[in-house]
Structures are given as C-alpha cells and as structure tokens.
Structure 1
Amino acid sequence: MKLINSFGPNPRAVRMFLAEKGITLDKQDIDILGAVDNRQPAYLAKNPGGQTPALELDDGTVIGETVAICEYLEEKHPTPVLIGSNAKERAESRQWQRRVELNVTESMYNAFRYAEGYGLFKDRVHCIPVAAPEMKVSAQKWVKKIDGLIAGRNFIVGNEIRLADIILYCCMDFVKDVGQPIDPANANINAWFKRMDARPSAASSLSPNWADVKMRG
C-alpha cells in the first residue's frame, strides 16, 4: 500500500501517526497547494473528495479520510496503541476525537479557509468570509473548555498519546501562525502542546517545504 501525500495538517496527522507507530509506507506526493494533481480526473476517480491524504491499498481500494486511514492502520498494526486496546479505550478515544473535530478543528480549518486562506480556497470550496470571526471564537471557547477538562493529565484522553492528540496538535500547530494563536491563558493546553511539540514525530512529520510556504503542515 502507499500513502497519497501532500503538504497540509491532515496529511501531517497521518505522517505523525505513522511515525508514532514506527510504520514506513511508500508515498506518492502530489501538489495540493497548486490544486493541480488532486483536481485531475485520474485522482478524482480514486478519491472523489479530491483531498489528501489518501491510502491506496494493494488491491486498489482507496481510503480517503484521515481518521479512517489511521483506524485502518491501527487495526493492521495494533501496537503501540494510538486509539485503544479494548472496547472501552477505543470508545473513550473516539469520544474525544469527535469532540476535538466537531468543536475545534473543523471550526479552525474553516475559519482559515474563509479568512487568511481565502485566496487559496475561494475557487475550491464554498467560502463564507463573514463566518470566519465567529468560527474562531467558537473554536477558542472549546479549547478553553478542553483546557479545564484535561487538568491533571498529560494528554487529551489520559496519560498516553492517542489519535485525538495528533489531530488537535497538527491543527493547532498549523493555525497558530495564520490568525489563530494559542491563548497563553490556557495553561493546560500550552503544557500539552509543548509535550506534543517535543515528540520526535512532530518534527519528522512536517513537510520539507513548510518554511518556504510559511505554514506548518
């Protein structure tokens, strides 16, 4: 199988997941910033959403969503555990993953698309610039809420890194330099972010050209 890869926080989340697992996959890099390769009929036939990342299996099946890719890889490579080792752990992990995605990362990504990233996305997705400020506010309210909920533990779900941590970290590391900084008042989130940022997988998962594009993806 191979990872269809590009610049961006979602592809980075899969790369970070792979690094934490110690899995090496062949990669096919495509130009998503230029909206060239991923908008061509050949790619859309494999992945109708036209987004990255995607995982192409040996039988030609293409899995085109970040979380679905990570869950597939967890089932194939169950250790080290990044989602859960039993039904309870997996449920708790997925609960936090959904909280993070529905309340924080979706708002942060859309706020970027509608504001700082508008020039990049205006011809790709339906953008609502007027919604961006309130989306930023909503996301930050939930970050503050999570800050309180994770008091006394090292990671979002508990004291071991999970997929929810990777998803939130890759998003916050991306948006913090493009209009959505991390609030220094959120002491628990800041401590968590430093722990995540210090992991070898954080550096190794960055795209080689991130400094050139001035975005951490």
Structure 2
Amino acid sequence: MSSVRKPFKTHYDALGLPPPPESDDVSPVEIKQAYHNSLLLYHPDKAQDLPDGYSSAELLDAVIAAYTVLSVPRTRRVYDQSLLLHTVGSATGSVAAFAAATENAETVDLDDLDHIEICTVHNSLDDYLRGIAAPDAACLADKHCNFIEVWSRSCRCGNIRGYVVTDELLEQLLDAQEEQGGRTDGGELLTQCTGCSSWIKIAFELSG
C-alpha cells in the first residue's frame, strides 16, 4: 500500500459533509452539490489559506476521489461500513448487538482474496463490483490516472464480489489503530457482504 499524503481524514471531510451515521440521510443530490462546492473551494483561482500546506491539486484529487466513492450507493455502503467499524469501534447500535452479529465471522487472509488495480479515471469501483471493469494497459502511461487496489471475495449468498476491501480502507483501519495505541503493521478488518447480512474478518500484514 502506498504512503501518499492525505489532506482529509475521510471522504466526507473532503466534501465538507458529516461522517456516518450523521450523513446517513444525505442524498446523492446533496453529495453532488457538496462535490461542486468543494471543487470551487479548492480551485487554484479561488483557493486561499490551503490546509496544512497542501497544494490545490492535492486537495482537488482528494475531492474527486471522495466523490468517486460516495456518489455510488453501493461503494458508499462499503466505505461507510468500514468507516463506522474502525473509527467508532462498532456499527450503529450497541456494541453487544454488533458482537453478536459478528462473533461467528470467518477469518480469511487478504492474500487469499482476488486482487486487482482499478483506474478510477477510466473505471469505477462500482463497475468492478458489477463485473464490467478491467485493468487498462493504456492507463499505465497516463499520468492523470489514479489507481486503487481492490480485493474481493464471493459470498455464500451468491454475490460473486460480496466482500470488498480497498487499500484506502486498510490504511484507515491502521490509522484508527494507531490513534488508539494499537498495531500499525497489520490487523483484522470486519467486512459485511454488500448483498446480505454475512460478515468476514480479513486478516492482513504489511509487507516490508
């Protein structure tokens, strides 16, 4: 996983929106409006007093990446699940209820999941989930392309890519663990199937 600087803690921060569960009722229209507002806010001709010394280009890249994920209900759901689990400590509801729902979750190794790099300029995570995205060799020579790493696994409900993890979600888990004095070299990511109520634990270790 890369160690690129991140100007915002979450995608919601990048768009000036509250994180879940406060953002649960935010509509796609409101997300699109927040996206356009952020584009204007960090435009090179308008931006002033940029946060923490970040360039306008870095901020705009973060805004575009945020909108790519949050504008699609399916990918937003995947993102929200991991964000809630590892910044709050449990999904919405009581810790006891969450523990009961996940206590029998199977543990699998990240290396055993299908892996792909997706160019978010020419494809989207939702395209991949629907089986219509593939690596584009032409993207490798395009300096404007932005790649994300995606791991997936089928679920017993029949969803071929029911469990989905991105490099960004893993990095967010590590950030949350570090803030709590925990591990920074690996961990376990609890992930719910996008098509049913099943959960798995995805164990991973950082290489090097």
TM-score normalised by the chain length of structure 1: 0.30
Between structures 1 and 2, the one with greater strand share: 2
- Which protein, 1 or 2, shows the higher relative CO under an 8 Å CA cutoff with sep ≥ 6? 1
Determine which structure has the larger helix proportion and give its number. 1
